Amino acid sequence: MTDLNDHSDQPELRVGLIGYGVAGAFFHAPLIAATPGLKLSAVVTGDPGRAAEVSSRYGARPVADAAELWESVDLVVVASPNRTHVPLATAALEAGLPVVVDKPLAATAQEARGLAELARDRGLMLTVFQNRRWDGDFLTIERLVASGELGTVNRLESRFERWRPVPKGGWREMGGAAEVGGLLYDLGSHLVDQALRLLGPVTAVYAESDVRRAGVVSDDDTFIALTHAGGARSHLWMSAVTPQLGPRFRVLGTQAAYVKYGLDVQEDRLRAGLTPDSPGFGDDPRDRWGVLGTDEAGHRVPTEPGAYLEFYRAVVAALREGGAPPVAPEEVVEALTVLEAARRSAAEGTTVSL
């Protein structure tokens, strides 16, 4: 029997990575390098130190301008600042290349819809790096929902909180709307995507969004409440000013609840330099497992292994076999519609119907 996932007899797809900041260096580069069928061929960076690193660590060619990639790679990955996502993805698609874009794909659903239409018209893959779909805790929730152990989910509470009283600076905190900065579009892109994936379409959006730290321009303390078409509700928190962190997930069902503290382990391990194909890379320590049940009868359940590599494995499969991308652009348009509604809700103090 032929293994459709075995691409060893085909030449590696040459990947051009645009950007080698946090997203490029800690997420995309190591994941690309560890994915069978992909080769990190070139990296766009203007920083001499980063250029030396990509050359020595990955054997990749550092280039100064994205336009130098178009004739020498098979796949473009856009991991540059958010405001550049749309123009760079557009240029790559117009050059006839499939594209992976880090989240958020765009500032607006309309821009994202335009990119999706361009990719479709050109017959090219366009997908978005919504890696948190492959967090171990979220995979665990999907497993518990599928097994019926939670019953019907009535409420999803999801938090991505940090304690960073002193701003780091940079465009994410200081850039404002023009840079597509702030936590609503940064962490909110993940939380909204997960809520939609778990509980389906949204009919109403309410949000509160604040700037709590002196000198910061973009939102650093935001809450979103979603009403889903099926009747469930999602309550989503994203904050940089939380001295004591709440549970990462609290999922309330008709039969049981699931409560999980602590972030997925993969980001910390990538930042520590561990390779994502190493044994146990996505395994959650036993003492961090979540609790399933009720106050009277709860027990710890194993966390599914985190699996960020599955994203790029699915990219290879889509390009080699013509299948669906790991994240459909249409799903991202839906999430951006919710994020835009949240921004409007926070600004106007109203609930926005979709």
pLDDT tens digit sequence for 84-102: 999 999 999 999 999 999 9
Q: Please check the confidence at residue 227 and state whether its pLDDT lies above 70.
A: yes
- Span 206-218, average pLDDT: 94
Composition of the chain by helix, strand, coil, percent to 5: 40, 25, 40
- Identify any residues that bridge with 353 across adjacent strands, giving them in sequence order: 204
Contact 38, 12 (CB under 8 A): yes
Contact 266, 251 (CB under 8 A): no
298: left (phi over 0), alpha (psi -120 to 50) or beta: beta
Average pLDDT, the chain: 95
Which domains can be identified in the chain, with CATH numbers?
13-130+313-322 (3.40.50.720), 132-310+337-353 (3.30.360.10)
Least Cα distance to 309 among 135, 147, 173, 51 occurs for 135
Residue-level pLDDT at 279: 95
- Span 194-217, average pLDDT: 96
- List the strands of the sheet with 75-78, edge to edge: 61-63, 38-44, 13-18, 75-78, 99-102, 126-129
Q: Please check the confidence at residue 130 and state whether its pLDDT lies above 70.
A: yes
Residue-level pLDDT at 8: 57
Q: Please check the confidence at residue 245 and state whether its pLDDT lies above 50.
A: yes
- Span 225-247, average pLDDT: 98
User: Looking at 7-11, 147-151, 251-255, which range is the least confident one?
Assistant: 7-11
How far apart are the two ends of the chain, measured CA to CA in Å? 48
What's the number of CA atoms in the CB half-sphere (13 Å) around residue 250? 9
Least Cα distance to 138 among 294, 348, 306, 256 occurs for 306
- Span 10-26, average pLDDT: 95
Buried b (16+ CB within 10 A) or exposed e, 176-187: eeebbbbbbbbb
More confident residue, 175 or 11: 11
What pTM was computed for the model?
0.94
228 Cβ partners below 8 Å, 6+ apart?
195, 199, 200, 201, 202, 203, 234
Residue-level pLDDT at 323: 87
Band (179; pLDDT cuts 50, 70, 90): confident
Between CA 42 and CA 83 the distance in angstroms is 22
Residue-level pLDDT at 10: 82
Q: Please check the confidence at residue 178 and state whether its pLDDT lies above 90.
A: no
Q: Please check the confidence at residue 1 and state whether its pLDDT lies above 70.
A: no
Q: Please check the confidence at residue 168 and state whether its pLDDT lies above 90.
A: no
Beta pairing, strands 153-161 & 233-239: parallel
Residue-level pLDDT at 120: 97
Least Cα distance to 89 among 61, 121, 112 occurs for 112
Residue-level pLDDT at 224: 98
Least Cα distance to 92 among 112, 64, 70, 118 occurs for 70
Beta pairing, strands 249-253 & 153-161: antiparallel
Between CA 119 and CA 8 the distance in angstroms is 27
Q: Please check the confidence at residue 181 and state whether its pLDDT lies above 90.
A: no
Residue-level pLDDT at 3: 42
User: Looking at 69-78, 167-176, 291-300, 326-335, which range is the least confident one?
Assistant: 167-176
Band (177; pLDDT cuts 50, 70, 90): confident
